[in-house]
Amino acid sequence: MSYQLIKAGINLYAIFKNLEDLIALDEESRNLIKGKKISIQFLVKNGPKAWLQFENETCKVGQGIMHNPSVKLWFKSPEHLNKMFDGEANPIPLKGFTKLGFLQKEFVKITEKLEYYLKPEKLENPSKEYIEINTRFTLTVAAFALPEIVKYNREAKLSASHIPDGKIQLWVLPNDPAVFLTVKNGEISAQKGTTEKPDAIMEMKDYQTANNFLNGKSNPFLAIAIGDVIIRGQTNMLDSLSLILDKVQNYV
Amino acid sequence: MKTYTYKKSQELFKKAAEVIPCGIYGHFSPAPLIPVTDYPFYIDKAKGSRFWDVDGNEFIDYMCAYGPMVLGYNNPLIDAAAEEQRKKVNCGTAPARVMVDLAQEMVNTVDIADWAFFAKNGADMTTFSLMVARAHTGRNKIIRLKGGYHGTAPWMQSPDHHGITFNDNKDIVMGEWNNYEALEKYIHEHKGEVAGIISTPYHHPTFADNELPAKGYWKKVEALCKNEGVVLIIDAVRTGFRLDYGGSNEYFDFKPDLIAFCKAIANGYPISSLVGTNEMMNAASNVFHTGSYWYSAEPMAAALATIRELKRVNAVEKMFETGTKLGNGLIELAKDHGYNMKMSGHPAMPYFRITDDPSLMLHQKWCGECTKRGAYFTSHHNWFMSAAHTDEDIAETLKIADEGFKAIKE
Ligand SMILES: Cc1ncc(COP(=O)(O)O)c(C=O)c1O
C-alpha cells in the first residue's frame, strides 16, 4: 500500500506544512486561534507522525513526536488518515478530550480555509492575492511531498538516486516564495526559504507560471525554452527532480 | 563587441511549440542551453566551420551538429559524391553498388572490421550490437556503464524516465566507468549470463569532466571478455573517426569485437554502421534488423567520400592540433582573467569547465556570453572539432572568449 503511505506522508508533512503560512497570511484563520495555545500530535499506525502547535497567533508544524501535546489523535492506518483528510473518517482521540471543541470548530474552519487556498479550480476568477497564496502553498506541497514519494515509490527512488548530492533552490520571481531541497545519497529533504550557494536553481517567472508549472499544466522543456522557467547550475539535478515532481499530482 | 539577439529564433520556436511536441525535442532541446536567451534556436545556413541562424547571426561552431559535421558544412567534395549517386539512385528496390564499396572501405580502414552493416542512427547500431552479442552467446545480460549514452531506445534509458518500464531494463546491468574490479566481480558471479559489455572508448558524460581510461583498464577488460566469452562492444558513435581512423579503440590500444559508428562517418549524411570481427559475422547474419531507408545510397556515397577525404586531409591529426590549440588558448586566457579552465577528454572532442564555481553557473554564463558574440559553446556537453576549423577560427574564437571573460566579471 505504498500509495496510501505516500499520501499520508504528503497529507501530514506537505499539506499541513502550509498551516504555518496560512496562520501568518490569512487574518481570518489567525483570529480563530487568538489567545489559544494548543498542540496536536497526529499518530498513524505504520505511517507518518507529525505535530501542530498553535501559540501566540502562529503555527508550527513538525515531523515526529512532540513532548506532551495537548491533544493526541490516533489513526489505525495511513488509509484512515487519508480518509479523514477527505472528510470521510474521524480520528481516534487518545488525549485532550477537553480540547475536542477546538478540533470540531476552529480547527475544521482552518483546514477548510487551507483547502480553499489549495483548490483554485473551484474559483471562477481568483484574485491576485489568492493566486499568490495558492502558489506559495503549491510550492510547499510539491517540495515537502518529494521526500515522501522518494521513500516509497520505486521509480522516484531511482530518479533520486541519480541526483548528485547538493542543494536545489526553487523560487518564484521576483524573490518569493522559495523552497530548497537538500539531496544526499538519494534522499531528499525540503525546507522553506533560500539557501546560500545552491548547486542548481529553478526560477519561475511569476505566480501564474509557477502555478501552471507546478500543477503539471505546462511542459517543463517548453517552459524553460521560452524563458518562463529559468534554470541554472547543475541542471542535470533538475532533470531527475522533474521526474519526481511529475508524480506529485498522483497523490494530491 | 556586438552581442546577438534572437528575435526570429524565438518567434519560430513559439510557432513550433504549437505543432511539435516540446517545440524542439531531444538533444537539440534548448533546455540545457543556459542562459537560454543567449542561444539561437534555428539555423538558416552553414558553410565550413560556421553557421548562420535565422536572425542572420554568424557563429563559429564548436558543436558540429553534435558530431556529424567533421569536414566542414557543405563540403563540396562530399556533396558532389553524394549528388552523383543521388542522380543515379538513392532509395531503390535493391542496394546500390556503392554499399559494397563502402563496406570494403570500412573493412580496409577499421582495424578489427571484417564486415560492416549499415543503418541510419547511432541507436540503430547500438541496439543491433546487443542483438548480435545475444545471438552470438545465447545469453541475455548486457552491462552498460553509468553516465554512458547509447541513444534513446527503452533499454538505453533509465526505467524512471517517461515511457520506460522496469521490464525494458530487465537484462541491463549498470557498471561504472574505469571500475574494472566491479565488472570482473559481476561477470565472475554471473558466469555464463553476460552476453556483452557496451561502453564508449572513453567516458564522455554530460555535465561532468570527461575521463580517459585508466592505465591498463581496457587491456584488462578485453582479456576478461575473451576469457568469459563476453562480447566487447565499443560505442564509437561520438568518437568514431575523430580519434583514430582505425577505430577509437586503437587510440587506446585494445580490440573489441564490435564497434558502432555514426556521427562523423558521412559528414552529415544520414548513415550509421556496425563493424565486427569474423567471429561475430554469423550472429550478425542471423539477426533480423532493417529499416526503410537503411539502403539509401546517397549517404553511402557520402560516407565513402568522407572516409577517404578524412584520411587524405589528415583530419584526425588536424582536429587534435586545433583542439589542443583552442584548449591551451582558453586555459591561458582564463588564467589571465583569474579563472581556472579545465579541459578534459580528447582534444578533438574537448569538454571544458571553469572550475572556480562547481555549480557550473559561472561556466554557463561564460559559454552564453561567448555564444552571443559568435563562438557557439555549450556548457553541458563535450564540444566537437572539425577538420574545417582553421587557425584563424581559433584566433577569432580566443578574442571572443576574452570578451566573454570580461563580461562575466561585470
Ligand atoms: C556515444 C553515443 N552513442 C549513441 C548515440 C545515439 O545516436 P543516435 O542519436 O544517432 O541514435 C549517441 C548520440 O549522441 C552517442 O553520443
Separation in Å, CA A79 to CA A46, A85, A103, B346: 11, 10, 20, 56
Average pLDDT, chain B: 97
Q: Does residue B14 sit within a domain?
A: yes
Q: Are residues A241 and A171 in the same domain?
A: yes
- Percent of chain B at pLDDT > 70 equals 100
- Ligand 1 atom closest to the CA of B27, numbered from 1: 14
* φ, ψ of residue A191 in degrees (nearest 5): -140, 155
Q: Does residue B334 sit within a domain?
A: yes
Please give the residue of chain A at the shortest CA–CA distance from B23.
A222
Q: Are residues B156 and B284 in the same domain?
A: yes
Cβ contacts of A65 within 8 Å, gap of 6 or more: A41, A49, A51
> What pLDDT digit, counting tens, does each position of B295-317 carry?
999 999 999 999 999 999 999 99
- Ligand 1 atom closest to the CA of B121, numbered from 1: 10
CA distance B315 to chain A (A): 33
> What pLDDT digit, counting tens, does each position of B76-94 carry?
999 999 999 999 999 999 9
Q: Does residue A231 sit within a domain?
A: yes
Range of the domain at B165: 76-312
| CATH number of the domain within which B168 lies | 3.40.640.10
**Cβ proximity of B122 and B151 under 8 Å:** yes
Q: Is B17 strand, coil or helix?
A: helix
Q: How confident is the model at residue A222 (pLDDT cuts 50, 70, 90)?
A: confident
Q: Are residues B286 and B137 in the same domain?
A: yes
Whether the CB of B151 sits within 6 Å of ligand 1: yes
Q: Are residues B112 and B261 in the same domain?
A: yes
Give the mean model confidence (pLDDT) for residues A37-65.
Answer: 96
Q: Are residues B13 and B118 in the same domain?
A: no
Q: Does residue B1 sit within a domain?
A: no
pLDDT of residue B391: 97
Separation in Å, CA A141 to CA A17, A135, A137, B278, B353: 8, 10, 6, 59, 36
Please give the residue of chain A at the shortest CA–CA distance from B368.
A232
State whether A240 and B206 contact (CB < 8 Å).
no
The DSSP annotation for B308-365 comes to HHHHHTTHHHHHHHHHHHHHHHHHHHHHHTT--EEEEEETTEEEEEETT-TTSHHHHH
Q: Are residues B33 and B94 in the same domain?
A: no
Mutate to test the pocket of ligand 1, among B177, B234, B238, B381 (most ligand atoms within 8 A of CB): B238
State whether B360 and A197 contact (CB < 8 Å).
no
How many A from CA of B106 to the centre of ligand 1?
Answer: 19
Q: Are residues B135 and B33 in the same domain?
A: no
- Ligand 1 atom closest to the CA of B236, numbered from 1: 1
Q: Which of B312, B331, B358 corresponds to the end of one domain? A: B312
- pLDDT of residue B285 exceeding 80, the answer is yes
Give the Cα separation of B248 and B239 in Å (integer): 6
CA distance A54 to chain B (A): 40
Q: Which of B264, B291, B312 corresponds to the end of one domain? A: B312
Q: Are residues A50 and A100 in the same domain?
A: yes
Give the mean model confidence (pLDDT) for residues B107-114.
Answer: 98
- pLDDT of residue A70 exceeding 90, the answer is yes
The neighbouring-strand residues paired with A90 are none
Whether the CB of B68 sits within 6 Å of ligand 1: no
Q: Are residues B160 and B121 in the same domain?
A: yes
pLDDT of residue B157: 96
pLDDT of residue A219: 83
- pLDDT of residue A1 exceeding 70, the answer is no
Please give the residue of chain A at the shortest CA–CA distance from B11.
A226
Omega before residue A93 within 30° of 0, cis: no
How many A from CA of B18 to the centre of ligand 1?
Answer: 27
Whether the CB of B378 sits within 6 Å of ligand 1: no
Give the mean model confidence (pLDDT) for residues A223-242.
Answer: 94
pLDDT of residue A99: 87
The side-by-side arrangement of strands in the sheet containing B50-53 is: B43-47, B50-53, B58-61, B375-376
pLDDT of residue B293: 98
State whether B364 and A230 contact (CB < 8 Å).
no
Q: Are residues B229 and B369 in the same domain?
A: no
Q: Does residue B282 sit within a domain?
A: yes
| CATH number of the domain within which A243 lies | 3.30.1050.10
- Which chain B positions have a beta carbon within 8 Å of A245's beta carbon? none
Buried b (16+ CB within 10 A) or exposed e, B220-233: bbbebbeebebbbb
Q: Which of A84, A118, A152 corresponds to the end of one domain? A: A118
- pLDDT of residue A100 exceeding 90, the answer is no
Q: Is B270 strand, coil or helix?
A: coil
- pLDDT of residue A141 exceeding 80, the answer is yes
Q: Are residues A226 and A158 in the same domain?
A: yes
How many A from CA of B166 to the centre of ligand 1?
Answer: 22
> What pLDDT digit, counting tens, does each position of A182-219 carry?
999 999 999 999 999 999 999 999 998 998 888 778 88
Ligand 1, atom 7: nearest CA belongs to which residue?
Answer: B122
Range of the domain at A236: 130-250
How many A from CA of B201 to the centre of ligand 1?
Answer: 13
Give the mean model confidence (pLDDT) for residues A42-59.
Answer: 96
Whether the CB of B148 sits within 6 Å of ligand 1: no
> What pLDDT digit, counting tens, does each position of B205-226 carry?
999 999 999 999 999 999 999 9
Say how many domains are in chain B: 2
Q: Are residues A135 and A244 in the same domain?
A: yes
Q: Are residues B330 and B390 in the same domain?
A: yes
Say how many domains are in chain A: 2
- pLDDT of residue B237 exceeding 80, the answer is yes
| ipTM of this complex | 0.91
CA distance A235 to chain B (A): 7
Q: Are residues B104 and B249 in the same domain?
A: yes
Q: Long-range CB contacts (< 8 A, 24+ apart) of B72-75?
A: B72/B47, B72/B48, B72/B267, B72/B386, B72/B387, B72/B388, B73/B46, B73/B47, B73/B48, B73/B49, B73/B268, B73/B388, B74/B46, B74/B47, B74/B48, B75/B267, B75/B309, B75/B388
State whether B31 and A231 contact (CB < 8 Å).
yes
Q: Which of A118, A143, A177 corresponds to the end of one domain? A: A118
Separation in Å, CA A166 to CA B19, B33, B357: 37, 21, 14
Q: Are residues A99 and A152 in the same domain?
A: no
